[in-house]
Structure 1
Amino acid sequence: MATLDAAAKARLDLITENLAETLNPEIIESILAEGRNPRIYWGTATTGRPHTGYFVAAIKIAQLLAAGCEVVVLLADIHAFLDNLKAPLELVENRAKYYAKVIRAILESVGVPTEKLEFVLGSSYQKSPEYTMDVYKLSSLVSEHDAKKAGAEIVKQSANAPLSGLLYSILQVLDEEHLNVDAQLGGMDQRKLFAAAVEWLPKIGYRKRAHLVTPMVAGLSGGKMSSSVQDSKIDLLDGPDVIQKKIRKAEAAPKVVEDNGVIAMVEYVLLPAAGLKGKKEFVVERRDAEPLVYTDIAKLKEDYQNDILTPQSLKPAVTAALTSLMAPIQEAYQASPEWQEITAQAYPPPVVEKKQRKVKDKGTRHPGAQVQAKAQAEAKAEVEGEKKAQELPERPKAEN
């Protein structure tokens, strides 16, 4: 472990705050000990519309910037296409633009200046000869089993899956080298991929990187918050009425804090966001008692387990705080015709095909109709056969 002075130690504490895990932290420590700024990237595949879970990464990015890190945001458009065609090629470009708008708006909503961020489009370098050759090199050294295992919690799994899903893991590992970073930031669901990067990159002569692992946020319906599961998440452009409805329907059993998506929203989004804005507290108004004011999540969880804080009090407080937090994002969207046009092109409404009017088959609706029709056809054929027989000239009898 590198020896750090007080200033470097403070920077390290901010970099690692609220992380679930740090892989190879000595890499970050040695950079700080030298007085340099770590270069860190966070990547997002431009597939479904970003939701409130993206605040977790945004808040961590804000802390990295405050710690003097260089932060790169990778808009992984090619990854989006490779992940079982979640983003068709004709939509990828506009979805990348949409993500750039949303990510900037999230950071600005919590008071983070975005001019220090570097946005990189994956396709801007992932089609270069150097990158392509590295894909070939790594593909020759990584087995199908290992590639599938690395992306198991990221890439959509299906029977007889396309080969592109295996390439996804290889590309993400190579991004660390080609973005020239010291570390990658990502969720706990990417941990297997991070471990693969540490193992795979040295095989083709590249150095290993550190990995900053953020905790996973429980969805409103329990389990992982996901863009593809509507009931689990709140879209960043959802209005106040929609936010209220989704929070009201969210699973939040009394006295149960595990997999409680409403408490997770406070822990990983609302309290940290309030801290970035200068006053880290979460207020729960109560009808017949004094408000409950929380400055740390441990006390909130304790009160919830003891039924001092009830779901009936917690949900309206989360609704109010989240509505306030998201208001600047929605105001920016409403004020930007460009953003609205990008949204329409990135996420066009599904085409609903008109149902063809079926011609009624009366024969199938009347028992015996088909049998009767067959009998009539046979009778007609028999009559026509007899008629033809009568029309044939009589064959002369053979002479004895």
Structure 2
Amino acid sequence: MSFLTPPNPQSTRTWETKTPAEISKSPEERFELITRRLQEVLGGETIKNILSEGQRHPKCYWAHIGYLVPLMKLSDFLQAGVDLTVLLADVHAFLDNMKAPLELVEHRTKYYKFVIQTVLESLDVPTDQLTFVTGSSYQLTRDYNLDAYRLAATVTEHDSKKAGAEVVKQVESPLLSGLLYPGLQALDEEYLGCDFQFGGIDQRKIFTFAELYLPRLGYAKRAHLMNAMVPGLGGGKMSASDPNSKIDLLEAPEVVKKKIKLAFCEEGNIEENGVLAFVGAVIIPVSQLRKERIEAANAAGKPIDPFPSRSSSRVTNGINELLKPIRAAYEASKEWQETEALAYPKAVAPVKKKKEKVYHPPPPGKGRNAKPAAVDPAAAHAEAEAAKQTAAPEVVA
């Protein structure tokens, strides 16, 4: 597995030895593994031809999104002998309405390398054909930027806005950066040298945009594989800004239990049932992967225990069983913990300043402890006499 330089689109990986996927599976079986449980496949014949020719591995590019669901599909690709490139899209994240400040992007790319690698290793998936590429490692080069300008001279504002409608954050007054986003994602296919790109069904408009415009620059049209969008635990769209809509990869067992308990689970409502969708998209594929691994081990004369923890099959226990090795790896890695602290610093609540009380002494004769003024009898008598002299005379009728 490599974290270093991006692959050269003009070259192909050396075909020296076949992977276990080529040895044990036919081209048809590998294609079925690559495309199973997907909602839609565009250009599947491209992948079939590469598998049938048997001259090289198919190449896939995935623009990373930090959810567990697509990682299940990556395990299928790797098992099928696909050369998989995971793009840690730092430039894209900044362009999409500045989702992350530039000073945090570097730490977050490192953090997600830890996450993705650990998830795949916890599933016992071979990662020797997995490559991580940071977008800024090639998206700031002269050639890439010249192609971006060539594309900008070809694409209409309407097409770019339409392509990013489901992915780019929509605001009343959009920034120019959001209009660049679809074109750059299309160029990534060429510069990462892939045969197909993988993403959610919400990426479909960007994928068809790439199929239309890359040939206009003289580049090949790629295939596109899309998985279904899984609703959040609350029944709506899964969102990174709503922690209650998803299960975090490092979630504590008690938090998982609480979230599942509070999840939207209306009887008869299948489309918005986040728990049921998670079972279908994650728990069942993991169970199938374990079953296949057990069968392969038994066939090789190395049987393994199919029930390592004897845990319940309930959803909460199933999720916690899946997350357990990921949490253990995180707790054992000081570097990962330090990276997370830098990538996602805890927000510091502003301290409310208490208004200082300033003592103002009361005027003379006022206040709780004030004493009545002393009265001079002679002065009081003189004042009373003077009042009598000035009083109006009494009128007798």
Instruction: Please give the range of the TM-score, normalised by the shorter of the 2 chains.
Output: 0.7 to 0.9
Deviation at 1:225, TM superposition (A): 1.5
Alignment partner of 1:335 is 2:356: no
The answer as to whether partners of 2:90 and 2:135 remain within 8 angstroms in 1 is yes
1:311 corresponds in structure 2 to none
- Counterpart in 1 of 2:230? 217
Asked if 1:351 corresponds to 2:341, the answer is no
CA apart distance, 1:108:
1.5
- What residue identity is the alignment partner of 2:218? G
The correspondence for 1:40, drawn from 60, 69, 75, is 60
Deviation, structure 1 residue 354: 2.9
- Corresponding residue of 1:298: none
Q: Which residue of 2 aligns with 1:188?
A: 201
Structure 1: gaps (5+ residues): 1-5, 281-314, 361-400
1:130 counterpart residue number: 143
SS at match of 1:278: helix
Residues 115, 37 of structure 1: CA spacing in aligned structure 2 closer, same or farther, 3 A cutoff?
A: closer
2:286 to 273, 276, 281: 273
Alpha carbons 2:51, 2:57 under 8 Å: kept: yes
Report the Cα offset of residue 279 of structure 1.
Answer: 6.5
**8 Å CA contact retained: 2:234, 2:264:** yes
Give the CA deviation at 1:358: 6.7
Q: CA deviation at 1:316?
A: 8.4
For 1:38, the aligned partner's letter is P
In structure 1, how many angstroms separate the alpha carbons of the residues matched to 2:353 and 2:167?
Answer: 39
Which structure 2 residues correspond to residues 110-259 of structure 1 after superposition, within 5 A? 110-259=123-272
Greater Rg, structure 1 or structure 2? 2
Query: Residue 372 of structure 1 aligns with which residue?
Result: none
Q: What letter is aligned with 1:340?
A: Q
Deviation (angstroms), 1:78: 0.6
User: 2:315 corresponds to which residue?
Assistant: 318
Q: 2:36 aligns to what? A: 17
Tell me the equivalent position of 1:389.
none
- Displacement after TM superposition at 1:167 (Å): 1.2
Closer, same or farther: CA 132–240 of 1 in aligned 2, 3 Å: same
Q: 1:260 aligns with which of 265, 273, 282?
A: 273
Count of paired positions: 315
Share of identical aligned residues, percent?
52
After TM superposition, the score normalised by the length of structure 1 is: 0.75
3-state SS of 2:166 partner = coil
CA drift of 1:350 comes to 1.6
The farther-off stretch of 110-119 and 317-326 is 110-119
Quote the offset at 1:357 in angstroms: 5.4
- 1:227 Cα deviation after fit: 1.2
Aligned to 1:363: none
| Cα distance between partner residues in 1 of 2:238 and 2:340 | 22
Larger deviation: 70-79 or 108-117? 108-117
Whether the aligned pair in 1 keeps the contact of 2:198 and 2:225 (CA below 8 Å) is: yes
After superposition, the CA RMSD in angstroms is 2.0
Which residue of structure 1 aligns with residue 69 of structure 2? 56
CA distance in structure 2 between the aligned counterparts of 1:113 and 1:37, rounded to whole angstroms:
15
Contact preservation (8 Å) 2:91, 2:136:
yes
- Measure, in 2, the Cα distance between the counterparts of 1:241 and 1:226: 21
1:66 paired residue among 71, 75, 79: 79
Code of the aligned partner of 2:186? V
| Alignment check: 8 A CA contact 1:111 1:276 kept | no
CA distance in 1, matches of 2:174, 2:344: 25
Q: Partners in 2 of 1:218 and 1:111 — Cα distance?
A: 27
Q: Secondary structure at the match of 2:165?
A: coil
Q: What CA distance in whole angstroms lies between the structure 2 residues aligned with 1:344 and 1:28? A: 41
Please give the per-residue CA displacement for 1:241-273, whole angstroms capped at 9, x wherever unaligned. Answer: 100000000000123322111111110000101
Residues 329-352 of structure 1, C-alpha deviations (whole Å, 9 max, x = no match): 000000001000000000001232
Aligned residue identity for 1:44? H
After superposition, the C-alpha distances for 1:174-224 in whole angstroms (9 at most, x for unaligned) are 000000111000001101100100001011111100001111111100122
C-alpha distance in 2 between matches for 1:220 and 1:355 = 35
CA distance in structure 1 between the partners assigned to 2:216 and 2:355 by the alignment: 62
**TM-score, normalization by structure 2:** 0.76
SS of the residue 1:277 aligns to: helix
Listed as ranges, the gaps of 5+ residues in structure 2 are: 1-24, 294-311, 358-397
The answer to whether the 8 Å contact 2:234/2:274 transfers is yes
Distance 1:160 1:358, change over 3 A: farther
SS in 1 for 2:128: coil
For residues 335 and 8 of structure 1, the distance between their equivalents in structure 2, rounded to whole angstroms, comes to: 40
Do the aligned partners of 2:82 and 2:129 also contact (CA within 8 Å) in 1?
no
Once the two structures are overlaid, the 10-residue window that deviates more, 61-70 or 200-209, is: 61-70
Does the CA contact (< 8 Å) of 1:202 and 1:208 recur in 2? yes
Which one of 46, 50, 57 corresponds to residue 31 of structure 1? 50
Superposed displacement of residue 112, structure 1: 1.0
AA paired with 1:264?
Answer: A
